[in-house]
Amino acid sequence: MNPLRILSLLAAGALLSLPAQAGAARPAAPLTTTAVAKPAGIQRIDPTFWWVGMKNPKLQLLVHGPGIGSSTVALSYPGVTLDGLQKLENPNYLIVNLTIAPSAKPGKVALEFRGTKKLTYQYELRARSTEAGRVQGITSADFVYLLMPDRFANGDPKNDNIKGMRAPAVARDSMYSRHGGDLKGIENHFDYLKQLGVTAIWPTPIVENDEPKASYHGYALTDFYNVDRRYGTNEEYVQFVRNAHKSGLKVIHDVVLNHMGTSGYLVQDAPARDWFHQWPTFTRSNFRDAAFNDPYVSQYDRKQFGEGWFDKHMADLNQSNPLVSTYIIQNFLWWVENTGLDGYRVDTYSYSDRKFLMDWGNAILEEYPNIGLFGETWVQGTAQQAYFAQNIFPMVDGFKANLPGVTDFQLQYAINEALTRDAGWTEGINKLYYTLQADWMYQNPQRNVLFLDNHDLSRFYSVIGEDFAKYKMGLAWLLTCRGIPQLYYGTEVLMKNYSNPDGKVREDFPGGFPGDKKNLFTTRTGPEAEAFDYVSRLANYRKTHPVLQSGKLMQFIPDQGVYTYFRYNDQGETVMVMMNSGKDEKTVDMARFAERLSGFNSGVEITSGAAVADLKSVRIPGRMAWVVELRK
């Protein structure tokens, strides 16, 4: 989520703002650690269960309950060793450190707590999954579909209103209320996604967001270990991933490492004051990621960027605290092993503590080397973006990124400029050329995620002035350029609108909810049908042609507003993409492309089926993108 988006939502009253307390670093209630000890009892233990056979044998249990911090602990279970206890500032918490030897068997470990009274907690150790290829990963062979579960489709009306939750009601006439979409609604439309050519689903966060207002987006989690009940249950999410895999679809789990919602139990009854970043008065991040690697930065600016709160209802986690770091790392290992999900998209990646980011990435990739990982890097400049991905740079100030890929905002800026600005020396269509030229900074730019828009941005169709020719140019680029293409829900049926001021880029998908006047899942006519067919035709071609998934890329400097690049591989496949960004038809002398055209005599334009008989000189209409399969 971008700071400008946060500020615009605040202005529109879309985000919860808790009343400021004079002289307080946060709302008075959420971060209190002065709870009065009561008779010992256990309300929960995180992680809620664990597995034998993990590569890291260490397990940190965070035990929560009234007065539990005064307890001692005993256990007797073959292969499980109690390494020690750690009391926290809040007497309602206790850290229990265990070692689980490779010889340990699945079962219930009886943890005996002895305090003002004795009680026993049966902690479950499960067997790890033995399913081959269960975590499939996300690669450049995929086509990712980003959706907001609350706004996509309502498949189970019974979970619309959950008693006891802070914002239980559904109000579809309000952009900032819950609308009722859920996991079952997504699953009901797996066939639609497959018809479109999608191979991976990226829902915005599905974990509990029990905030009193505007938490439908999922980025203010209040429970690390539970699915939001308005979307479904943990068991239903496990089944959702399993059913997606059976349907040939992967699942990306959207996560937030940097902060959590202030209504969560970890904030309302904080384990310790240093669990979250503290300030004398409420201090929001300055949102300036450059402070992390600016050689001339002031320490105040750097601290405010990394330790300032994203907003008043988003408590900033202190990941330099090793207990917090371990808690977060274990949680994301837990979700993978429990569900078999295929990848993580990390929200606000650049805001987290940099040592923690390296530790988190190492832990996830050590346990699940095939998992897909990419982070949101809404930054300025390709060098700054590459800084947060696996790159060719030396370690800078103790940080060397291990994140395989990022959301490629720099190319998103470039494609928008290419379609909205006349060509200049570096402007317009030339922006694409120069941005791709900077790929030398990445270890593997194929792992970056390409996109035209998302849930924080104005919709692509509106940005280009609802120009259908430009729409097709943008989609042609998205599905033929290097990297992992991502489509925002509804782009394929020309959903439109701007991010400011009313949030209508997050409108419901037509047909996903009872009473909808149109159902674009099943019935499409006119431009909506043409748009869907264009995306589907190109995406399904990409799915069956490795050259557009992992082929090499060669680009030629744009000439007279015409940009040409080729995807090719060692198996003899070659696809030529030619984009005329100008209004007028251009005649292109193909001689300068000889190194890629050699051996080919003709071609077929993939989306239309039109023959391209002459590869010596072509005339390409204005505002046109050709995707040509070359033939010998």
Mean pLDDT, the chain, integer = 93
Q: How far apart are CA 16 and CA 11, in angstroms?
A: 11
pLDDT at 40: 61
Contact assessment for residue 209 and residue 220, using Cβ atoms and an 8 Å cutoff: yes
> Which residue numbers are catalytic?
347, 376
- For the range 188-192, what are the long-range contacts, defined as Cβ-Cβ under 8 Å and sequence gap of 24 or more? 188/153, 188/155, 189/152, 189/153, 189/512, 189/521, 190/243, 190/244, 190/247, 190/249, 191/247, 192/521
Give 563-585 pLDDT, tens digit per residue.
999 999 999 999 999 999 999 99
pTM here is 0.94
Give 513-538 pLDDT, tens digit per residue.
999 999 999 999 999 999 999 999 99
- Residue 435 neighbours by CB under 8 Å, 6+ apart: 382, 410, 411, 413, 414
CATH numbers and ranges of domains, the chain: 3-16+136-544 (3.20.20.80), 44-126 (2.60.40.10), 548-631 (2.60.40.1180)
Type of residue found at 255? V
Percent of the residues in the chain that have a pLDDT greater than 90, as a whole number: 91
pLDDT at 3: 53
- C-alpha angle 494/499/504, rounded to 5°? 60
CB-count exposure of residue 48 (10 Å: 0-12, 13-18, 19+): middle
> With 70 as the cut, is the pLDDT of residue 388 above it?
yes
Mean pLDDT over 317-345 rounds to 98
Cβ density class 186-222: b for 16+ within 10 Å, e for less: bbbbbebbbebbbbbbbbbbbbbbbbebbbbbbbbbb
pLDDT at 500: 87
Q: How far apart are CA 249 and CA 239, in angstroms?
A: 13
Peptide linkage before 47 cis (omega within 30 of 0): yes
Type of residue found at 134? R
Give 402-430 pLDDT, tens digit per residue.
999 999 999 999 999 999 999 999 999 99
